[in-house]
Amino acid sequence: MSFIKALFILFFLVLLQGISSVLDTGSNSNIAVYWGQGGSDSSLAEFCDDYPQVNVVLLSFVTKFSSTGGFPSMEIGTRKCNPFPGTNLGDCPQLGQEIKTCQAQGKTTMLSIGGATYTEGGFSSKSDAINSANTVWQTFGPNTPESQHRPFGDAVIDGFDFDLESPATNMPAFGNRLSELMNGQWDRDFYLTAAPQCPFPDNNVGDCGLNAFTNGAPTGFNFDQWDQWTREESVSKNVKVMVGAPGSQDVAPSSGYVDAGQLGEIFEYSKRFSSMGGVMVWDASHLQMNPGLLGSIKKLAEDVLGTVGRVLIGQMGCSYCCVFRLGFVIFGL
């Protein structure tokens, strides 16, 4: 994932089963960080210990929905995991323990699918998408009798993020099936997210493609357009939008990096919109090389964005998947 000059990512958040104490859907100062793609990453547990300000961690990435043996494959962090026999799916029990460590600290810990190396292009049919959703859920969601391989052992991730940087077909069927599975009789909330490109509208959509940030042409800071979309076009009128910031200059080589002072101005402008929901940072490894940035972001979020009132959270129907083309979307289920 890379950042264009707008520094803008969209984070839409809707809760369907009640407010979670982990990810506060009524707060305007949530902080989400991607973890797992930088060579200098500390362990996940160390990151969660060192950054109490972060309340959403997105593990990146599952690189294929369906690889050898019909199971997903993933490249997360620098630690190598031995694959389950007949698959490219790593068996990572230590990472599973660290996921539980982060969750015990009150962090919503999700799994991101895609990234710059994703090339599957979605699914050949709706039935293929549904079958893949079942496999992903059995692999990373709650342990069920249908589960075959559990890379994180008994750890259960809190949801899935789609960071697909090229058009992907039949994603609504995949997302709707995950929605159905997440909306079962569970004792916890689950979330779905997606990260299309920043420019409005996203011209790389395809079949409701979930397109993440890429090295697109620079655009202006267009929060007003996204806020209007949340009110007039979004399936849910309770969508929230988060401003995204690169963790260092290295991740935004095209003059996309801004310091805390400039972020303060962006937050001050954005807080006028009822859809404003907090801050996202890409990514953990760059954040760790930029001491002090996260503390500044947290203080700015609390001082500037904390003045915005809470929003009502409502329910959305099964047609929600098409909103993925317009933002980094989190749906609590």
**Distance separating alpha carbons of residues 53 and 31, to the nearest angstrom:** 7
Question: CB-based contacts of 154: which residues, under 8 Å, 6+ apart?
Answer: 96, 143
- Provide the token pair at 132: 């893949």
* C-alpha to C-alpha distance for 195 and 163, rounded to whole angstroms: 5
Looking at the DSSP bridge assignments, the partners of residue 164 are 115, 211
Only one residue has tokens 């620079």, namely 218
Of 305, 237, 299, 302, which Cα lies nearest the Cα of 271?
305
Q: Which of the residues 165, 180, 265, 268 is marked catalytic?
A: 165
Whether 9 contacts 328, CB under 8 Å: yes
Residue 205, both tokens: 């959509």
13/145 Cα distance (integer angstroms): 31
For residues 192 and 332, the answer to whether their CB atoms sit within 8 Å is no
Phi-psi map region of 153: left, alpha, beta (phi>0 left; psi -120 to 50 alpha): left
φ and ψ of 238, to 5 deg: -105, 20
* CA quadruple 209, 271, 17, 22: dihedral sign: positive
Whether 165 is catalytic is yes
Q: Which amino acid is it at 144?
A: T
Q: What is the CA radius of gyration of the chain?
A: 18
H or E element in which residue 328 lies: strand 328-332
Using DSSP's 3-state secondary structure scheme, residue 238 falls into coil
Q: Report how far residue 330's alpha carbon sits from residue 194's, in angstroms, rounded to the nearest whole number.
A: 7
Q: Which residues are annotated as catalytic? A: 165
